[in-house]
Amino acid sequence: MSKQKTAKAFIKQPSFCLRKSLILAIFSLIIITLGAGAQEKVIKAIEIEGNKNISQESIRKVIKTKVGGEYSLSALREDLKRIYGLGFFSDVRIDTSPFEEGVKVSFIVEERFLVGKIIFEGNKKIKKKALLEEIELKVNEVYSERKVKEAKEKILSLYKERRYYQAEVEEEVEIDEEEGRANVTFKIEEGKRLKVERPQILGNKVFSDQKIRRVMKTKKKKFDEEVFGEDLERIVILYKTKGYLLTEIADHKISYEEEKIFITILIEEGPQIKMGSLSVSGNELFTDEEIAKEMILKEGMVFNELQFDRDLFQVHTLYYNQGYAFARVEPTEEIDREEGRIDIGLDITEGPLAYIGKIEITGNEKTKEYVLRRELAISEGEVFSYKKILRSQEKLYNLGYFKRLDIEEEEGVRIDTYPGKEPNIINLVFDVKEKKTGTLNLGMGYSSVDGAVGQVSVSEINLFGRGYQASATVEFGGKRQSYDLRFTNPWLFNTPTYFSTGIWHHTRIRDSYHIERRGGDITFGHPITDFTKWYLNYKGERVRVYKVEDDAPFDIAREEGKKFLSSLTPSFVRDTRDYIFDPTKGSYNSLSIECAGGPLGGDFDFLKYGLDSRWYFKTFWKFVLALRLRAGYVEEFGDSTYVPIFERFYVGGADTVRGWKYADIGPKAANGDPIGGVKMVVGNLEWRFPIYKILKGVIFVDGGQTWARGIDPDWGDIEGGYGVGIRLHTPMGVIRFDYGRPINPPPGVPQSQFYFSIGQSF
């Protein structure tokens, strides 16, 4: 029970205070009006009356009316609102009177009580500091009964978290009207700290005790009656996924003995039910067979209630994708307990064709609306399409501007609908929640190839809220230095024309030489369909090979000096991934042909063909199987007699076959230096799974090889590696840590490799 003591008076009830405030406000305005009629036009003085705890300066700061200013009824009304808006006053009145050939304005306030002392009695196990941090009730803030009640619940919740399940809290409030303070005391009876014993399960034959306990969230160290109630529902759902539709919790008991909580659950399982007949009525747009095809459950299969819900949704979706958003599918169920079967009827009301009315975008604070609207796959006036609406959500997520439920644990693009003015019109709302799109990163890492590496990068993927992308990156280390600048406009001239340009300067130290590459490129692209695009890239690059060792292989030694490359690369891309930053389904397929030299000039003439195919599959729970296949072939033409060493393929390392050092697979010179191949194939398999929030794990198997000119590919040459890794999703991107081991390595090859990289592997 809540107790309150008053020093001299009672606390006004809200309804009484409200009526009084309205009457006094009206009375104040009448007085103001009479004062205005007296033609005193200039304000000669302003007074504040009635304040005790709130300083006059705090009130005067919000008042726009000033001494010497012209008297204004509307200005005083606004001042009244501003003083109320401070939240410290239960009543505010304005009084005016003649003063020195003008008007004196008096603001008469009645303060709400402020919280005075917050006292805890009886707390021995939890200190006062921890309790104050837990509650939102603060000294010198406005007192309210609601805040006291909420504080009480927070205290009880904290005690339950620490396993004091029998704790009791009573609040006592003492009002000091002279001081305008409400002193709050929380009287606590802590009780004993209790331990939850392992729940006792009775009546179960289908599932073991361990299996049932596994679906429960009530564990040994924590007990919550609400969570336990949900546990009982989870147990019933477990049975219903295996066909035990008649399962019930016959009884349950919770008892407290000494310092322990004992839980007993009695289950009545009932018979297993299988899928019987399926009948459909009311359908005209689709045949019975077409509707039955959408259902996974077939006659004779064990009935799974969760799968049946998914099947119903698929039937709904069949209609929604054809524009019948008002379609309803009502199931009827008839269970034959003796036969152990359930016959299902689907009563369908198809309804009229629906159309999209208004499309609204809300929640975008930084991003211009047209940047989001141009990504939508559906337009106003179109026939309703659930598929297109989901595709629109998918494309908005792929911009990278919004939070994801599976990564940031928050939904960043919500879809809502509401009726239009016409019966068959549906208005659509995309409510977005933006995240930070700009990053400044300082990082250090270690690579088995480049040693210690530092990085400084600045990037913004939504520059000025217009969808532009810009980045600048500097990397430095003992064996590597690089500088990159890039700017991208995915919608050039507000058309779906992709434009990107960049410049770079990279320096690397290889086993027997140093190489420097400076250049720039420009890329244009345009969609063919919603999922397919073509791109055209021009690249100009100055390559310098220097500090070539005396015993370097001929393939390397002949490259010493400066060379210029000029190339044009057309490519074709089909991308159906659901989320390009961390896909769970869909695929990415790319074909490209780089043509260097010839009419484009430069010191080398070659053609480089590339294939990149990536596929993603959901397996169970949130586990994702990711597959990648890459193949390449490069050949010289025209005046060139060979392909330069810096344009060949190198296999082995973090981005190809893990478990091996960089370029350790494929052709080598007599001294063991890698010289690259002109034919290449690499395959990767990753099984990805969540660990905790932004942390994910992978198990991988890689394989690949590259062959020199004149050597026919032999699948027996493929080298493999396997291992494990973790992925940390951060604002700067995905940070990768991989540990790999080679499969059947030859003598001299290290038995393991550790890799640190930035960016998703694929």
At 406, the pLDDT band (50, 70, 90 cuts) reads low
Total-model pTM: 0.73
Average confidence (pLDDT) over 22-31: 45
Q: How high is the pLDDT of residue 29?
A: 45
Can you list the pairs that 199-204 forms with residues at least 24 positions away whose Cβ atoms lie under 8 Å? Answer: 199/263, 199/264, 199/265, 200/262, 200/263, 200/264, 200/265, 201/265, 201/267, 202/264, 202/265, 202/266, 202/267, 203/250, 203/266, 203/267, 203/268, 203/269, 204/267, 204/269
Least confident window among 69-83, 299-313, 533-547, 608-622:
69-83
Torsion sign over Cα 221, 227, 228, 230: negative
Q: For 643-670, what is each residue's pLDDT tens digit? A: 999 999 999 999 999 999 999 999 999 8
Q: For 679-713, what is each residue's pLDDT tens digit? A: 999 999 999 999 988 899 999 999 999 999 989 99
Residue percentage of the chain with pLDDT more than 90: 63
Least confident window among 104-113, 216-225, 234-243, 347-356:
216-225
Contacts of 226 (CB under 8 A, 6+ apart): none
Q: For 493-536, what is each residue's pLDDT tens digit? A: 999 999 999 999 999 998 889 999 999 999 999 999 999 999 99
Alpha-carbon distance of 124 to 717, in angstroms, equals 72
Residue percentage of the chain with pLDDT more than 70: 93
State the Cα torsion 152-155-159-165 to the nearest 10°: 10
Alpha-carbon distance of 679 to 693, in angstroms, equals 41
466 burial (CB, 10 Å; 0-12 / 13-18 / 19+) is middle
* Complete DSSP assignment for 709-724: TTPPP-GGG-EEEEEE
Q: How high is the pLDDT of residue 136?
A: 86
Site of tokens 């921890």: 130
Identity (one letter) of the amino acid at 84? Y
What are residue 698's DSSP bridge partners? 688, 725
Identity (one letter) of the amino acid at 390? L
CB-based contact 662:749 (threshold 8 Å): no
DSSP-derived letter for residue 22 is: H
Using the predicted structure, report yes or no on whether residue 30 has a pLDDT greater than 50.
no
Q: How high is the pLDDT of residue 478?
A: 78
Which structural domains are found in the chain, ordered by start? 14-111 (3.10.20.310), 114-189 (3.10.20.310), 195-268 (3.10.20.310), 274-349 (3.10.20.310), 355-432 (3.10.20.310), 438-758 (2.40.160.50)
Using the predicted structure, report yes or no on whether residue 275 has a pLDDT greater than 90.
yes
Using the predicted structure, report yes or no on whether residue 471 has a pLDDT greater than 70.
yes
Q: How high is the pLDDT of residue 445?
A: 64
Question: For 662-760, where are the E strands, in sequence order?
Answer: 679-692, 695-707, 719-730, 733-743, 753-758
Alpha-carbon distance of 530 to 18, in angstroms, equals 59
Q: For 322-332, what is each residue's pLDDT tens digit? A: 999 999 999 99
375 or 670: which leads in pLDDT: 375
415 or 730: which leads in pLDDT: 415
For residue 223 the two structure tokens come to 């007990």
Using the predicted structure, report yes or no on whether residue 109 has a pLDDT greater than 90.
no
Q: For 554-598, what is each residue's pLDDT tens digit? A: 999 999 999 999 999 999 999 999 999 899 999 999 999 999 999
CB-based contact 523:532 (threshold 8 Å): no
Average confidence (pLDDT) over 262-289: 95
Using the predicted structure, report yes or no on whether residue 192 has a pLDDT greater than 90.
no
State the Cα torsion 594-598-599-604 to the nearest 10°: 80
Q: For 440-449, what is each residue's pLDDT tens digit? A: 877 666 665 6
Using the predicted structure, report yes or no on whether residue 354 has a pLDDT greater than 80.
yes
For residue 243 the two structure tokens come to 């066909």
CB-based contact 425:419 (threshold 8 Å): yes
* Average pLDDT for the chain: 89
